[in-house]
Amino acid sequence: MGWLIGGGPIMIPLFICSILALAVILERTINLRKNRIVRLELIDVINAIKGPEDIQIILTRCNAIKGPFSNIIKRAISNIHLSREEKVLDIQAAGRQEAKALERMLVVLEVITAIAPLLGLLGTVLGMSQVFDVISEIGLGQTKAFSGGIAQALRTTIIGLSIAIPCLVAYSSFDRKVDIMILEMEKYSLSLLNKLYAKRNK
C-alpha cells in the first residue's frame, strides 16, 4: 500500500480508472456470455419453421424471449412485402444497431486505455519536476533526497501501463466477441428469411 501511496496524487485518478475498468470487464464478461445473447430456444424455433404460415410462432417466442437476437428476428419477419434483397439489408442494419447496444460499455475501456498511460506520464513529469526542484536546492550530493521523486515517476508509469494493457486486451476481446455473435445471429435470421421467401420464388 505504501508503494502505491508513494506514487503521489496521480495515483488517485489511476485508482479510479482501475476500479471502473474492473467493473466494466466483470459486467461485460457476465452479460456477453453467448448463451445469454444467441438463445438456443430461438435457434430451435427457427430450425422448426417451415414457411410464412409459421410467422406467428416465431413472433410469440421473440416476445417471450427478449434480447438482441429476438430484435433481429423481428426485423426479419416484419415488412415481408419487401424484396429479399431489401430484407437482407434490413437485417444487417438491425445487426449494426444491436452491436452498438452490446458495445455500449466498451467505450469506458477504450477511454481508460487511452488516458491511463497519459496519467502515468503526467505522474512521471511531476515526479521528475520534484527531482529537479530538490537538485536545485541541495545539489547532487544527497541521492536519498531526490530518490522519492524518481520513485514517484516510475510508479505512476508502471501503474498507468498496468491498467491500460489489460483494458486494451479486454476491449479487443469483447469487441471481437460482439462481432462474432452478431454475425451468427444474422446467419440464423437469413436462414429464417430463406424459408419465408422460398415459396414466393417458386
Which residue, among 186, 197, 171, 191, has the nearest Cα to 29 in the 3D structure?
Answer: 171
Q: Which residue has the higher pLDDT, 181 or 49?
A: 181
Summarised one tens digit per residue, pLDDT across range 103-159 is 988 999 999 999 999 998 888 887 777 666 666 666 555 566 556 667 667 888 889
User: How would residue 3 be classed by pLDDT, with cut points 50, 70 and 90?
Assistant: very low
Whole-number Å distance between alpha carbons of 135 and 2 = 24
Mean pLDDT to the nearest integer, 160-173: 95
Sign of the CA dihedral 95, 100, 103, 104? Answer: negative
Q: What is the C-alpha to C-alpha distance for residues 106 and 12, in angstroms, rounded to an integer?
A: 22
Whole-number Cα distances in Å, 191 to 58, 64, 75, 101, 163:
13, 21, 13, 23, 42
Confidence (pLDDT) at 11: 86
Contact assessment for residue 116 and residue 167, using Cβ atoms and an 8 Å cutoff: yes
Which carries the bigger pLDDT value, residue 26 or residue 57?
26
pLDDT at 1 over 70: no
How many C-beta atoms surround the C-beta of residue 144 within 10 A?
Answer: 6
On the question of pLDDT at 18 being above 90, the answer is yes
pLDDT digits (tens, 9 = 90+) for 192-201: 888 887 756 5
What pLDDT is recorded for position 10?
84
Q: Is pLDDT at 177 greater than 90 in this prediction?
A: yes
- Which residues have a Cβ under 8 Å from the Cβ of 25 and sit 6 or more positions away? 109, 166, 167, 170
- pLDDT the model gives residue 200: 60
User: Judging by beta carbons within 10 Å of its beta carbon (0-12, 13-18, 19+), is residue 174 exposed, middle or buried?
Assistant: buried
> With bands split at pLDDT 50, 70 and 90, how would you rate the model's confidence at 87?
confident
* Contact assessment for residue 117 and residue 88, using Cβ atoms and an 8 Å cutoff: no
Residue of 11, 2, 43, 1 lying closest to 127 (CA atoms): 11
Domain boundaries, given as residue ranges, for the chain = 2-198
Question: What are the tens digits of pLDDT across the range 46-81?
Answer: 888 887 777 888 888 888 988 999 999 988 888 777
% the chain with pLDDT above 70: 83
